[in-house]
């Protein structure tokens, strides 16, 4: 039912997509089984419309370690999705399965290419990239670019640990899809693609920076997009005008200056990191001494506490031992008194029982005498009645 509905009425796609996202009704429980490839493609288009063209779905059940690895290998915006929605996106053919991407990432080999091994044409690309990046990120420097000889896909990967951008050499070769015609003027599709990929890695941060630096309604992003939309460097002064004022005969010197500038920047970065490392070593050494002093003080305190604990334990043991002895003596005396009282009361009980027994015999004898007297009187009674009559 849903297949025909979303194909005939595209306005139902957002509603059905929300059902897939929630995954709480039986309508979507087996969506990856009954949806056609066309329906899956429509849902995939809606997914990218909601989350952006650089989005990639990731199962919401992955561990934190695997998620970190995925972020390192996939230079896209990760969107946490349930398994049903992910299988539908896979079925569309638009989204490459995560297992395939991770297997490619594990098999690809990358090696950093020295700038000295780059051709003049490849090096010429980098100053233009730097010029365009400085429009939105003034602190951007060519020294943060590392060229990789990679067998993987032609994408820019941000190495967050070092703050550098790893760019495959294939993006510098010019053997990429071009978005403008190349007649007598040189196109700058390579530069635009590299800048786009770098910006897509941290667009949120750049957007905030652009808003802070803007003095009017046109922020840095508008300037950059206006620059890239023309696709021809000569039409974009003054962004890289100084790069074209150098005569053709001095291009080799320009390339060497690029390498020299990168080396100087990297040397400054190395010195800065070395100073930071030395400062951290000193700080760690001081912290280690403080920790060792604390450990020594804690050990002394612990030893003192152990001695006090032994003394307290011995004192408590002796106190309880004396208490038990006193209690035992008291119980022994009470037992002796009770035994004596028991004998006394047993003797009194025996005497009382003997007295009761004697009294019982006396009462029995007295009753017998009274009975005999009664019998005698009964026998005399008729004679007295006769005398009276």
Candidates 152, 166, 54, 170; CA nearest to 105 is 152
Q: What is the pLDDT of residues 224-234, one digit of tens each?
A: 554 554 444 44
Exposure on the CB side of residue 113, measured as CA atoms within 13 A: 20
The pLDDT assigned to 112 comes to 80
pLDDT at 337 (0 to 100): 93
Which of the listed ranges 78-92, 167-181, 223-237 does the model predict with the highest average pLDDT? 78-92
CA angle 21, 26, 28 (to 5 degrees): 40
**Residue 140 dihedral angles phi and psi, to the nearest 5°:** -65, 140
pLDDT at site 3: 62
Band of residue 382 on the pLDDT scale cut at 50, 70, 90: confident
| Least confident range of 291-305, 313-327, 370-384 | 370-384
Task: Give the mean pLDDT of the chain.
Answer: 76
What is the structure's pLDDT at 151? 57
Whether the Cβ atoms of residue 165 and residue 146 lie closer than 8 Å to each other: yes
Query: What is the rounded CA–CA span in Å between residue 374 and residue 366?
Result: 12
pLDDT tens, residue by residue, 113-124: 888 888 888 888
pLDDT at residue 103, as a whole number: 74
Q: Would you say 188 and 233 are in contact if contact means Cβ atoms under 8 Å apart?
A: yes
Q: Which residue matches tokens 């003054």?
A: 238
- Is the model more confident about 290 or about 73? 290
- HSE (CB half, 13 Å, CA atoms) of 27? 13
- Report the alpha-carbon distance of residue 357 to residue 302 in Å, rounded: 79
Question: What integer pLDDT is reported at residue 121 of this predicted model?
Answer: 80
Most confident of the ranges 18-32, 252-266, 295-309: 295-309
For the segment 124-142, what is each residue's pLDDT rounded down to a tens digit?
888 888 888 887 788 888 8
Residue 354, both tokens = 């003997």
pLDDT value of residue 211: 43
pLDDT at residue 350 in the model: 92
pLDDT in tens, 270-281: 788 888 888 888
Per-residue pLDDT band for 214 (boundaries 50, 70, 90) equals: very low
Given this model, what pLDDT does residue 174 score? Answer: 62
Is 58:67 a contact under the CB 8 Å cutoff?
A: yes
Distance of alpha carbon 359 from alpha carbon 341, whole angstroms? 27
**Which of the given ranges, 13-27, 334-348, 366-380, has the highest pLDDT on average?**
334-348
For residue 208, the model assigns a pLDDT of 43
Q: What is the pLDDT of residues 134-164, one digit of tens each?
A: 877 888 888 888 888 765 555 566 555 566 7
| pLDDT for 9 | 75
What confidence score (pLDDT) does residue 309 get?
Answer: 92
Q: What is the pLDDT of residue 31?
A: 67
Q: In which band, very low, low, confident or very high, does the pLDDT at 1 lie, cut at 50, 70 and 90?
A: low
Across 338-359, average pLDDT: 92
**Looking at residue 305, what is its pLDDT?**
92
Percentage above 90 pLDDT, the chain: 20
- Tell me the pLDDT tens digit for each residue of 3-29: 667 666 777 778 777 877 776 666 566
What pLDDT was estimated at residue 327? 94
The pLDDT tens digits for 93-115 are: 888 888 887 776 655 556 788 88
Residue 127: other Cβ atoms inside 10 A: 19
Higher pLDDT, 211 or 186: 186
């Amino acid at each position: 039912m849903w297949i025909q509905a979303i194909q005939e009425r595209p306005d139902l796609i957002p509603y059905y997509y929300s059902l897939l996202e929630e995954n709480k009704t039986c309508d979507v429980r087996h969506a990856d089984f009954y949806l056609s490839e066309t329906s899956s493609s429509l849902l995939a288009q809606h997914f990218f419309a909601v989350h952006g063209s650089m989005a990639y779905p990731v199962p919401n059940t992955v561990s934190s370690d695997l998620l970190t690895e995925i972020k390192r290998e996939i230079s896209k915006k990760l969107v946490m999705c349930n398994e049903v929605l992910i299988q539908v996106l896979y079925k569309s053919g638009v989204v490459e399965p995560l297992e395939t991407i991770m297997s490619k990432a594990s098999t690809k080999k990358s090696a950093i290419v020295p700038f000295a091994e780059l051709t003049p044409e490849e090096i010429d690309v980098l100053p233009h990239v730097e010029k365009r990046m400085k429009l939105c990120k003034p602190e951007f420097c060519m020294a943060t670019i590392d060229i990789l000889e990679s067998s993987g896909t032609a994408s820019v990967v941000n190495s967050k640990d070092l703050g550098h951008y790893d760019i495959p050499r294939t993006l510098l070769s010019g053997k990429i899809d071009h978005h403008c015609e190349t007649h007598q003027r040189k196109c700058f599709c390579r530069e635009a693609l590299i800048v786009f990929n770098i910006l897509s890695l941290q667009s949120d941060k750049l957007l905030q920076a652009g808003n802070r630096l803007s003095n009017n309604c046109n922020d840095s992003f508008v300037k950059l997009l206006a620059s890239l939309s023309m696709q021809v460097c000569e039409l974009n002064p003054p962004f890289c005008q100084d790069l074209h004022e150098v005569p053709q005969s001095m291009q080799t010197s320009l390339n060497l200056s690029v390498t020299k500038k990168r080396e100087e920047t990297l040397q400054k970065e190395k010195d800065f990191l070395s100073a930071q490392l030395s400062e951290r070593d000193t700080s760690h050494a001081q912290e280690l001494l403080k920790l060792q002093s604390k450990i020594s003080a804690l050990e002394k305190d612990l030893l003192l506490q152990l001695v006090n604990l032994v003394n307290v334990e011995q004192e408590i043991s002796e106190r309880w031992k004396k208490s038990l002895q006193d209690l035992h003596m008291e119980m022994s005396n009470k037992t002796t008194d009770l035994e004596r009282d028991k004998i006394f009361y047993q003797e009194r009980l025996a005497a009382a029982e003997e007295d009761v027994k004697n009294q019982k015999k006396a009462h029995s004898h007295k009753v017998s005498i009274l009975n005999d007297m009664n019998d005698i009187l009964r026998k005399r009674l008729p004679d007295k009645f006769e005398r009276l009559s």
